[in-house]
Amino acid sequence: LDEADEMLNRGFKEQVYDIYRYLPPGTQVVLVSATMPYEVLEMTHKFMSKPFRVLVKRDELTLEGIKQFFVAVEREQWKFDTLCDLYDTLTITQAVIFCNTKQKVDWLTQKMRDANFTVAAIHGDMPQKERDAIMAQFRSGASRVLISTDLWGRGLDVQQVSLV
C-alpha cells in the first residue's frame, strides 16, 4: 500500500480494510508512507504479523542536487512576479512548481505561457492517458517546467529536476 498516510487522509480507510479482508492468508503486505501517524502504525499491526519498519530521518528526505524554495509572499497578486524573479536569478535544468488547487495550476500555466515560458501542467482532472503523455514529455526534456497539484508531489522521480 503506497502512500498509506495519504490514503487515510483522503478517507479510504474502510476501503483499504475491505480489500485486505479478501487477501489470502500469508500475503506479504508492504506499507509505504512518508509519515507515520498513529493510524498508519495501527494499520501495520492489523495487516502484518511481524512488521519491519524502515524509518528515514526527516533531513534525509530531500534528494541531493535538488533546490527547494518556499517564499512567503504577502499578497497573492505578487506571487507571479516573485516566481519570475526566481527564474531570472537561478539556473534551472528542469523544475516542478506545486499549486494548491487545480484552478491555480491552470491559471499559472496560462500566465507563464503568456510570459513565453514553455510549461506543462498536470492535475487530477485530466484523463490518465493525457497525464502519462505529459509526464513522458517532461521526462524527455521537451518541457522544462511542470506545474502540478500534489498529485505528483510524492514519488516524482525525474533525474533532470533541479528545482522544486
Which of 121, 85, 118 lies closest to 103, judged by CA?
Answer: 121
Read off the pLDDT of residues 111-154 as tens digits, 9 standing for 90 and up: 999 998 889 999 888 888 998 899 888 888 888 899 998 765 55
How many Cβ atoms are within 10 Å of 31's Cβ, its own excluded?
A: 20
pLDDT tens-digit series, residues 34-47 = 677 777 777 777 77
Residue 144 to residue 9: CA distance in whole angstroms: 31
Walk across the sheet containing 161-163 and list its strands.
119-122, 145-148, 94-98, 161-163
Structural domains of the chain ordered from first start = 4-47 (no CATH), 62-163 (3.40.50.300)
- What DSSP string describes 21-47? HTSPTT-------SS--HHHHHHHHHH
Burial class (CB in 10 A: 0-12, 13-18, 19+), 137: middle
pLDDT for residue 45: 77
Residue 146: in which H helix or E strand, if any?
Answer: strand 145-148
Mean pLDDT of 17-46: 80
Cell for 25? 492468508
Q: Grid coordinates in use for 140? A: 524527455
